């Protein structure tokens, strides 16, 4: 099998000097994730210096390293390893003929990226590549590009931001042929004066579009026209998606089914596609329309995309559903522990509302919401009540406003941290319950999910 990178290719891409010949089959900057044959990129950051972990990386089987200091290990030495990783990413992008798709949004970008990869890979197994996890920032995006084999046919890359200007830089590295914006919602509002400003920052993704590229925009968004205006100078074609009449790719019918998914009839111009969508919730119907729009723009197989959407698994931290042993029976765990903002909280509470039996919610505070944080938290009281939640466990100081708003309505308890939430939840859970666990990643609710998942 052809290696992903040789030491000579890495040196040429980065302007570095190779200390020895080696061939790498993968790339990583986390020494704990090194697999045999990987190139380990020793990034130097504010918190730590990757060069400290060179010995550990090679003990795990690294083939070589990208470094900025002398080392006895096989390596390519550059002046700055962060700049070197970006240069390697640009070289990976330059050497491929792949159709490249960029995905951003306040909500749904990781799920949409994974669904899009599944749809393209199903029609052409092994020819699609995507960014893993949520590697969507100034180091994660270059890493994901550097990992892309030259023979890739479709590349799908998630791009995130929490400040203006970040996406403009990332999209010029990715240079997508197709750029997708999922949902615009209040997220990182501590860094933006308004939701419109968030839309403007997300619209930066279009600045990197290749000539004649396609911009895919949410039709039902109040910021639709703002996004269209941002795309128009850069896109050869603009496609809208959504549920509303007038969308270019539209769900003309969607009906929840007993398995927890949704039966969908989608219309793309004069074409119609019927399929079952595995993940539950209307928000996922909209995500699926974005996926179909991107597959169509990429020249992919829509029928195979429909089959892939029917088989989509839940992502850990983003909707994975697990039956856990409780007493003589079981309870349903809905894992949304990776992230949270007001829009995604509302969407997942609607999903919880569809579950039979008693409904419990473990909700961690939503971070980076700035001065409006208390209001956004308090406004969750309505969706909690509408979802028929029997008991809510509110986690973190930021949930104080919601606790005050719930007084005299939903039964709740307000706890300081994930450990206390876990203790309370285990005391409450009974067979037949459905429990939603959701909060900003920094709250640490993934530990609650892990503890529950161990039960079976």
Q: Is the pLDDT of residue 429 over 90?
A: yes
User: Last residue of some domain: 310, 332, 360?
Assistant: 310
Average pLDDT, the chain: 94
- Looking at 81, 107, 137, the residue that finishes a domain is 81
Pairing of strands 75-77, 17-18: antiparallel
Cβ atoms of 364 and 445 within 8 Å: the answer is yes
**CATH number, domain containing residue 192:** 3.40.1190.10
- Give the list of residues 6+ apart from residue 427 with CB closer than 8 angstroms, or none: none
- Closest to 22 in 3D by CA, of 41, 7, 3: 7
Average pLDDT over residues 345-367: 94
Q: CA dist 123 to 66, 93, 127, 303, 304, Å? A: 35, 22, 9, 9, 6
Nearest to 383 by CA among 423, 436, 347: 347
Q: Which residues contact 125 (CB under 8 A, 6 or more apart)?
A: none
Helix (H), strand (E) at residue 313: none
What stretch of H or E contains 95? helix 81-95
253 and 359 both lie in a single domain: no
Contact 180, 103 (CB under 8 A): yes
53-108 tens-digit pLDDT: 999 999 999 999 999 999 999 999 999 999 999 999 999 999 999 999 999 999 88
Q: Is residue 368 part of a domain?
A: yes
- Evaluate whether residue 90 is within a structural domain: no
Residue 287 and residue 316: Cα distance in Å, rounded? 18
Enumerate the H helices of 355-439 as residue ranges. 373-378, 381-386, 400-406, 418-428
210 CB neighbour count, 10 Å cutoff: 17
Query: Could you report the per-residue pLDDT of 270-294, keeping only the tens digit for each?
Result: 999 999 999 988 999 999 999 999 9
Q: Which of 177, 197, 172, 170 lies closest to 186, judged by CA?
A: 197
In the predicted model, is pLDDT for residue 456 greater than 70? no
CA atoms within 13 A on the CB side of 385: 13
Predicted local distance difference test score (pLDDT) of residue 4: 98
Cα gap 194→192, rounded to integer Å:
6
Query: Which domain CATH number covers 64?
Result: 3.40.1390.10
DSSP 288-313: HHHHHHHHHHTT--HHHHHHHHHTPP
Q: Are residues 270 and 129 in the same domain?
A: yes
In terms of domains, do 293 and 193 share one? yes
386 and 337 belong to one structural domain: yes
Choice among 183-192, 243-252, 367-376, 431-440 with the minimum mean pLDDT? 183-192
Both 278 and 384 in a single domain? Answer: no
Residue 86 lies in a domain: no
Residues 351 and 407 in one domain: yes
CA distances from 108 to 79, 113, 218, 293 (A): 37, 8, 12, 15
Q: Is residue 134 part of a domain?
A: yes
What's the CATH number where 443 sits?
3.90.190.20
The answer to whether 434 and 324 are in contact (CB under 8 A) is: no
Last residue of a domain, one of 261, 291, 310: 310
Residues 382-415: tens digit of each pLDDT? 999 999 999 999 999 999 999 999 998 999 999 9
301 shares its domain with 334: no
* Residue 91 covered by a domain: no
Distances from the Cα of 126 to the Cα of 32, 64, 145, 152, 154, angstroms: 26, 25, 16, 8, 10
- Asked whether residue 262 carries a pLDDT value surpassing 80, the answer given is yes
Residues 115 and 35 in one domain: no
- What domain count does the chain have? 3
Number of helices (H), then strands (E), in the chain:
16, 22
- For the cut 70, the answer to whether the pLDDT of residue 244 exceeds it is yes
Q: Are 431 and 301 in contact (CB under 8 A)?
A: no
Looking at residue 455, its pLDDT comes to: 74
Q: Are residues 143 and 221 part of one domain?
A: yes
> Is residue 99 within 8 Å of residue 299, measured between CB atoms?
yes
Which residues are paired to 130 by β-bridges? 156
Alpha-carbon distance of 144 to 160, in angstroms, equals: 13
Pairwise CA distance, residues 434 & 358, whole Å: 6
Give the model's pLDDT for residue 120: 97
Do 162 and 24 belong together in one domain? no
Task: Note the Cα 278 to chain centre separation in Å.
Answer: 17
- Give the whole-angstrom CA distance, residue 212 versus residue 237: 7
Contact 377, 401 (CB under 8 A): yes
In terms of domains, do 264 and 126 share one?
yes
pLDDT recorded at residue 313:
85
For residue range 309-320, list pLDDT tens digits in order: 999 988 788 888
Domain that holds residue 285: 96-310
pLDDT in tens, 116-152: 999 999 999 999 999 987 789 999 999 999 999 999 9
**Is 88 a domain residue?**
no
Please report whether residue 34 resides in a domain: yes
Element (H, E) at 58: helix 54-59
The alpha-helical segments, DSSP class H, found in 194-312 are 195-202, 224-231, 282-297, 302-310
Identify the DSSP state of 398. Answer: G
Q: How far apart are alpha carbons 111 and 73 in whole angstroms?
A: 39
**183-197, 247-261, 370-384: least confidently modelled range:** 183-197
Asked whether residue 120 falls in the same domain as residue 253, the answer is yes
Is 218 among the domain residues? Answer: yes
Give the end-to-end CA distance of the chain in Å, rounded to a whole number.
39
């Amino acid at each position: 099998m052809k290696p992903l990178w040789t030491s000579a290719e890495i040196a040429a891409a980065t302007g570095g000097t190779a200390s020895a010949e080696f061939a790498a089959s993968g790339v990583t900057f986390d020494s704990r994730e090194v697999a045999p044959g990987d190139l380990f990129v020793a990034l130097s950051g504010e918190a730590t210096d990757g060069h400290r972990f060179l010995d550990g990386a090679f003990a795990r089987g690294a083939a070589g390293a990208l470094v900025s200091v002398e080392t006895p290990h096989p390596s390519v030495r550059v002046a700055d390893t962060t700049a070197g990783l970006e240069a390697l990413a640009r070289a990976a992008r330059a050497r491929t003929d792949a159709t490249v798709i960029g995905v951003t949004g306040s909500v749904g970008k990781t799920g949409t990226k994974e669904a899009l990869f599944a749809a393209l890979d199903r029609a052409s197994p092994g020819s699609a590549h995507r960014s893993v996890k949520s590697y969507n920032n100034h180091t994660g995006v270059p890493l994901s590009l550097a990992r892309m084999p030259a023979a890739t046919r479709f590349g799908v890359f998630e791009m995130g931001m929490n400040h203006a200007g970040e996406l403009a830089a990332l999209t010029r590295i990715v240079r997508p042929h197709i750029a997708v914006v999922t949902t615009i919602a209040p997220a990182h509002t501590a860094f933006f004066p308004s939701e419109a400003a968030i839309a403007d920052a997300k619209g930066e993704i279009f600045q990197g579009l290749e000539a004649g590229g396609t911009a895919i925009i949410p039709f039902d968004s109040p910021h639709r026209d703002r996004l269209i205006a941002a795309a128009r100078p850069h896109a050869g074609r603009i496609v809208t998606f959504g549920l509303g009449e007038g969308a270019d790719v539209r769900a003309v019918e969607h009906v929840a089914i007993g398995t927890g998914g949704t039966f969908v009839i989608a219309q793309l111009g004069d074409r119609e596609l019927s399929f079952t969508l595995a993940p539950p919730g209307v928000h996922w119907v909209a995500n699926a329309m974005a996926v179909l729009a991107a597959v169509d723009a990429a020249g992919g197989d829509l029928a195979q995309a429909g089959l892939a959407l029917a088989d989509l698994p839940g992502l850990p931290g983003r909707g994975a559903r697990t039956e856990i042993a409780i007493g003589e029976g079981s309870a349903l765990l809905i894992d949304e522990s990776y992230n949270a903002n007001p829009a995604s909280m509302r969407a997942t509470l609607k999903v919880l509302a569809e579950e039979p039996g008693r409904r419990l919610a473990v909700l961690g505070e939503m971070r980076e919401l700035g001065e409006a944080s208390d209001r956004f938290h308090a406004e969750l009281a309505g969706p909690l009540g509408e979802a028929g939640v029997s008991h809510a466990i509110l986690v973190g100081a930021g949930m104080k406003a919601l606790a005050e708003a719930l007084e005299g309505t939903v039964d709740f308890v307000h706890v300081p941290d994930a450990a206390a939430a876990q203790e309370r939840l285990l005391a409450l859970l009974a067979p037949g319950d459905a429990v939603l666990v959701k909060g900003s990643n920094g709250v640490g609710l993934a530990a609650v999910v892990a503890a529950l998942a161990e039960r079976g």
